[in-house]
Amino acid sequence: MPRFAPPVEQAALYKALVYHSVRWQPRLSRLAGLLLDRPLRARDRVIDALLQVGLCQLSIMHAADHAAVSETVNAVRDLGRPGLAGLVNGVLRKYLRARDALEAELDRDPIAASAHPGWMLEVLRGDWPEHWENIVTSGNLQAPMWLRINRTRTSSREYLQELSDHGHAASLSAWVDDGVRLAEPCAVAELPGFDRGRVSVQDGAAQLAGQLLAPVAGQRVLDACAAPGGKTGHLLELVGGDIDLLALDRDPQRLRKVDETLERLGWTARTLTADAANPGEWWDGKPFQRILLDAPCSGSGVIRRHPDIKLLRRRSDIDDLAGRQRALLDGLWPTLDQGGLMLYCCCSVFRQENQQQVDRFMNSHSDAELLPLSDRLRGRFGDGRGPGMQVFPGEEEMDGFFYAVLRKLRVATD
């Protein structure tokens, strides 16, 4: 039996409750702290969590006061803690009586106001003194649903018309060639031709990766950390499938997702469970002309889609991730052909994973050059400065992402 069984007809409400409660947890836990005379005991932490869900309905979702209070109190009983029902009822009513003063107090507290953990705020302030407030604000907003149109079958302009015929308002992007943004999210089953691979669900920022790497027909291409295969599919679409593509991932279960994605899109590629950082394990010695290194990262740029990152990530993770990114960059570099391009990218806004990673790489590799951005993109996103290109979350309604295109210099042979 599964762990949790939401009634089907209320699934949307449950989902909303979970998303909002997780997204605003740093604020809600402070609010609970202000309202409780003393913290709940460790064994009552399920009630602590429930109390925050109750406060979320009142403070964030603006549910009807009476319904939110009585449903939350009922849930205390359903959880088998009837002895705490009075406490929860009292705390929620106390909030309702002092709502304005409490909200004002929360707004004065940086962690509660930004709903981001303290360590993340510190890193963001240090990294982006002029932009951190926009970054955290965007991190708390709902992300739009982006589609990637399979350019080998339909143009994005034609698909936009099709969507409109099906009653879905959408818009094109000036920067993302294959991208279409839906005004309202919908189930993929409602997207014309989704199951036949005419369209994929993928954020605009993720689509820029394939666009920047720009593979050319006939090339040997490596997708080093491929799962779940969204970008793998895009690389193939960009050249009508006419590349020799190898897709790696360390996790066999996640790699299976790549096969499924490619099957839906109707492409074939070699997929292999392997650690890209150790080419000795898997490389046949033939160099690649293009490498996509979409490195594992903190996900600090996609918090708006995955708010649990705020709760699950620890500051100490960042050093570990940066170490892994470095191992991948250094390990893969020898497999790149002279004159070939490697795109280093990740869905982070932390300099340690992005700009500093590329600076370190450039300082330790004399045979690498950093490709300048095209005129079209130069100065358009982030703080407009390099190295690479930083997109902040919410810019052009995209996820936060970082990209750097590295070219291997040709070595003159006499």
Active site residue ranges: 347
Q: By CB under 8 A, is residue 351 in contact with another protein?
A: no
31-39, 132-140, 142-150, 314-322 -> range binding another protein (CB under 8 A): 142-150
Q: By CB under 8 A, is residue 260 in contact with another protein?
A: yes
- Complex with another protein: residue 190 or 369, whichever CB lies closer: 190
Per-residue b or e along 221-259, where b marks 16 or more CB atoms closer than 10 Å to that residue's CB: bbbbbbbebbbbbbbbbbbebebebbbbbeeeeebbbbb
Task: Rule CB under 8 A: choose which of 94, 153, 264, 365 binds another protein.
Answer: 264
**Interatomic CA distance for residues 347 and 313, integer angstroms:** 14
In whole angstroms, how close is the CB of 147 to another protein at the nearest point? Answer: 10
Task: Tell me if residue 145 falls in helix, strand or coil.
Answer: coil
Helices 45-59, 65-78: crossing angle, 10 deg rounding: 170
123-131, 226-234, 316-324, 362-370 -> range binding another protein (CB under 8 A): 226-234
Task: Rule CB under 8 A: choose which of 78, 107, 158, 195 binds another protein.
Answer: 195
Task: Rule CB under 8 A: choose which of 124, 143, 180, 212 binds another protein.
Answer: 143
> What are 139-142's contacts with CB under 8 Å, separation 24+?
139/303, 139/304, 139/393, 140/23, 140/24, 140/114, 140/115, 140/304, 141/304, 141/394, 142/304
Q: By CB under 8 A, is residue 205 in contact with another protein?
A: no
E strands present in 284-371: 288-294, 336-346, 368-370
Q: By CB under 8 A, is residue 167 in contact with another protein?
A: no
**Interatomic CA distance for residues 152 and 296, integer angstroms:** 29
Please say whether the beta carbons of 330 and 262 come within 8 A: no
- Complex with another protein: residue 24 or 333, whichever CB lies closer: 24
Question: Residues with Cβ < 8 Å from 284, sequence gap 6 or more?
Answer: none
Build a one-symbol-per-residue string for 169-188: x at contacts with another protein by CB under 8 A, - elsewhere.
Answer: ----------------xx-x
- Complex with another protein: residue 158 or 260, whichever CB lies closer: 260
**Interatomic CA distance for residues 258 and 230, integer angstroms:** 8
**Interatomic CA distance for residues 22 and 206, integer angstroms:** 24
DSSP-derived letter for residue 290 is: E
- Complex with another protein: residue 16 or 327, whichever CB lies closer: 16
Q: By CB under 8 A, is residue 8 in contact with another protein?
A: yes
**Interatomic CA distance for residues 378 and 149, integer angstroms:** 25
Q: By CB under 8 A, is residue 282 in contact with another protein?
A: no
Task: Tell me if residue 243 falls in helix, strand or coil.
Answer: coil
Task: Rule CB under 8 A: choose which of 153, 250, 305, 324 binds another protein.
Answer: 305
In whole angstroms, how close is the CB of 123 to another protein at the nearest point? Answer: 23
- Complex with another protein: residue 260 or 319, whichever CB lies closer: 260
Task: Rule CB under 8 A: choose which of 104, 174, 189, 411 binds another protein.
Answer: 189
Interacting residues toward another protein by CB under 8 A: 1-3, 5-8, 15-16, 19-20, 46, 142-143, 145, 185-186, 188-189, 194-195, 200-202, 228-230, 253, 257, 260-261, 264, 304-307
